[in-house]
Chain A
Amino acid sequence: MHEMSSAPSKSLKGIFARHEVVLLLVVALEVLIFSLLGRNFLGEANVSNIFRHSVEIGMLALVMTPVILTGGIDLSVGSMMGLCAVCFGILVKEAQFSPLLAALCSVAIGATGGGLNAFLIARLKLPPLIVTLGTFSLFRGLAEALTKGSKSYSGFSDSFLALGNSEVAGLPAQLWIFIAVALGVYLLVHHTTFGRSFRAIGYSPEGSRYAGLAVGRNISLAYILAGAVAGLAAVIFVARIGEARANAGIGYELLAITAVVLGGTSIFGGSGTVCGTLLGYLAVAVLNNGLKRIMDYELLDRKISDMASELSGLLTGLLLIVALAITPLLRILATRRSRSQH
């Protein structure tokens, strides 16, 4: 697949700076449209909703970034959320663990699951797409088997539910955790030699090995981190909706991947930034929320807000295609033009 990816440009840095600028404009345009057409879009309650409803996906997108930077992919994070949510529920409700201890266990279980991915991918050198397709079924399957499919856990203490439903210092409580994770991943990827190796590995695994990088260990870390954060996201998810069930996080892996790719990270690895991912996530989160607010306009005799769920999927898909296609399209146009000038 590498052959067909876009050729590396002369000033890589310039391109990505610009990609982020473009994304920022997209987000700004969304905000502008929704605040003009939407009802109460910029109200405090709604802005806090935008984040409360999406930090889980945002966290998955953040840790998906290093994975994709190494040239891998992790389809199992959504299923991992389901498994961790169920384990969390069992630990709190049946084993009478305190929520904090259960949350730590949830993160540990996530890391262990990520470790399984890491072992198969980094040690046995198996293709990430297939390995995580397998664990995608396996983790969700275990969650269903543990609950016999039907059992769910609810009735958590108010102090725990506050994690998902209250505000701390003016921001939703879980947003603070998100900010911490974002900062951590940013520092890891952009400000440590360890993190910078992710891109090197994705760009050229062989070259990195010859350059003395511990390729296997670094790839492993990316998957373990993804699993651990999926475990954390599961806890936040349970705190938000007040119920732990095997279907938590269903489909979130695709949303996370969408945010990362929209953010300019190459799916082949080697290039991309955490800031890009954050902007990509923001673009998707704002779109999801904003369409629900357009209650005063109709399209084909239905209120836009009545079709918000369908339209946000549709527009995210189109946005993804446009965002990806624009660079190669322009390049083709440019070569045509320069040819015709000669």
Chain B
Amino acid sequence: MMRKYSREIIVAIALILLMLALAAYAPAYFDPQPLLSRFTSQAPALVAAIGITLVIIIRQIDISIGAQFSMCAVVAGVAAAAGMPLPVAVLAAVLTGAVMGAFNGLLVAWLGLPSIVVTLATMVTWNEALRLWQQGRLMNLPAGIQWFGLSQSAGQGIVIGLSVVLLIAFAWGMRNLALGRYVYATGTDAEAARLAGINPRWMTFGVFVLTGALAGLAAVLNMVQSPQVQPNAGDGLELKVIAAAVVGGVAITGGRGNLWGVLLGLLLLVNVNPALTYFHQPPYWERAIQGLVILLAVVADGLQRGKKVKHA
């Protein structure tokens, strides 16, 4: 048990230490309002992280997820600004995401192309297409979109609630549903999975489609938090969620990792920056610290694996 969850435990300890330091030196960190706003604004990243986790577990990668997020946000924004009801806008965003995911999936699963290169290419393509289309225009949304037309606290509740429900559902599904196990099986050894009667191509394709759809949903959860949509809203999201997955113990070599670890990883990474602010530290160390966190996580992983090999 301890060994199986050692990564999660390490990350959890790091997170707890950070929280303790904050509690001691900057207790204002835990005031309910900023805490709630902080959680709400990171909820879309959590939804996107679910998608990226599935992709990495199945032994692929998707660096176009930020571009997909931007594209879906704009599609949803355009639909909403055109006066369509919110559910239609949501559907449009999720479908757009799924189609972009399907494009990645098609190239990766059926043509056997390396996902890192495919998604690098689609990332550039979607981003530049967006720039040509929107030219960076900040889009104003009609009233009734922000917080789903409800009060702020109700809206925040829905955003956080939805992403937590998704997290629980996926975490449960990955453990207990046959399809979830198939994802692990395909990621561990696609050939063995095929011999066991799983179709690795359909699994890979499906995961990419799902990731796109989740990116679309994340974009919507982000859109409802303000009355405007920025067309490059997803810039840098791919790095954030991949880093969260890696720090959370998802093995880049596929087949290993779980969503609770990813949640911890994301919490750790997104709290570094606010913590610097609360400790009244200058911001220019932020990026270096994030790099260090990733490196430490991966080194911890390597040392632990090394130990296991020696034991064996």
What is the interface of chain A, defined by CB distance below 8 A to chain B? Answer: 1, 3-6, 73, 120, 124-127, 129-131, 133-142, 144-145, 147-149, 254, 257-258, 261, 266-268, 307, 310-311, 313-314, 316-318, 320-321, 324-325, 328-329, 332
Contact call B288/A120, Cβ cutoff below 8 A:
no
Contact call A134/B120, Cβ cutoff below 8 A:
no
Q: For residues 267 through 312 of chain B, which have their beta carbon under 8 Å from a beta carbon of chain A? A: 282-292, 294-295, 298-299, 301-303, 305-306
Q: Which one of A126, A138, A142, A261 contacts B117 once the chains associate, using CB atoms below 8 Å? A: A261
A147 CA / B287 CA spacing, docked (Å): 13
List B contacts of A321 (CB < 8 A). Answer: 107, 118, 121-122, 125
Contact (A138, B121) CB under 8 Å given A145-B284, A310-B128, A328-B113: no
- Chain B, residues 51-69, CB within 8 Å of chain A (1/0): the string is 0000000011100000000
A21 → B minimal CB distance (Å)? 21
A139 CA / B129 CA spacing, docked (Å): 30
Contact call B124/A144, Cβ cutoff below 8 A:
no
B130 → A minimal CB distance (Å)? 9
Give the total number of A-B pairs whose CB atoms are below 8 A apart: 156
Is B38 engaged at the interface, CB distance under 8 Å to the other chain?
A: no
Name 12 interchain pairs, CB-CB below 8 A, sorted by A.
A124-B299, A125-B305, A127-B252, A144-B288, A258-B120, A313-B127, A314-B132, A321-B121, A321-B122, A324-B113, A324-B118, A328-B113
List B contacts of A127 (CB < 8 A). Answer: 252-253, 298
Is B137 engaged at the interface, CB distance under 8 Å to the other chain?
A: no
Q: Which one of A73, A137, A257 contacts B291 once the chains associate, using CB atoms below 8 Å? A: A137
Further 4 A-B residue pairs, CB within 8 A, beyond A140-B288, A149-B284: A5-B114, A137-B294, A257-B120, A314-B128
Is B28 engaged at the interface, CB distance under 8 Å to the other chain?
A: no
Contact call A124/B118, Cβ cutoff below 8 A:
no
B52 → A minimal CB distance (Å)? 13
A321 CA / B64 CA spacing, docked (Å): 13
Count the B residues whose beta carbon is within 8 Å of the partner chain — how many?
A: 57
List A contacts of B122 (CB < 8 A). Answer: 317, 321
List B contacts of A131 (CB < 8 A). Answer: 295, 298
Contact call B302/A135, Cβ cutoff below 8 A:
no
List B contacts of A307 (CB < 8 A). Answer: 132
Is B108 engaged at the interface, CB distance under 8 Å to the other chain?
A: yes
Contact (A254, B120) CB under 8 Å given A125-B302, A126-B302, A137-B291: yes
A317 CA / B295 CA spacing, docked (Å): 30
Is B264 engaged at the interface, CB distance under 8 Å to the other chain?
A: no
- Chain B, residues 163-178, CB within 8 Å of chain A (1/0): the string is 0000000000000000
Contact call B286/A148, Cβ cutoff below 8 A:
no
**Dominant SS among interface residues on chain B:** helix
Q: For residues 117 through 154 of chain B, which have their beta carbon under 8 Å from a beta carbon of chain A? A: 117-118, 120-125, 127-129, 131-132
Contact (A328, B124) CB under 8 Å given A131-B298, A136-B291, A141-B287: no
Contact call A310/B132, Cβ cutoff below 8 A:
yes
Q: For residues 76 through 111 of chain B, which have their beta carbon under 8 Å from a beta carbon of chain A? A: 107-111
Contact call B108/A314, Cβ cutoff below 8 A:
no
Contact call B287/A137, Cβ cutoff below 8 A:
yes
Contact call B283/A141, Cβ cutoff below 8 A:
no
- Chain B, residues 254-273, CB within 8 Å of chain A (1/0): the string is 10000000000000000000
A294 → B minimal CB distance (Å)? 15
B67 (CB) vs chain A CBs: closest residue = A317
Contact (A4, B190) CB under 8 Å given A133-B239, A317-B128: yes
A261 CA / B286 CA spacing, docked (Å): 32
List A contacts of B117 (CB < 8 A). Answer: 257, 261, 267, 320, 324
Contact call B284/A3, Cβ cutoff below 8 A:
no
Is B219 engaged at the interface, CB distance under 8 Å to the other chain?
A: no
Contact call A1/B114, Cβ cutoff below 8 A:
yes
Is B115 engaged at the interface, CB distance under 8 Å to the other chain?
A: yes
List B contacts of A317 (CB < 8 A). Answer: 120-125, 128
A325 CA / B114 CA spacing, docked (Å): 10
B133 (CB) vs chain A CBs: closest residue = A310
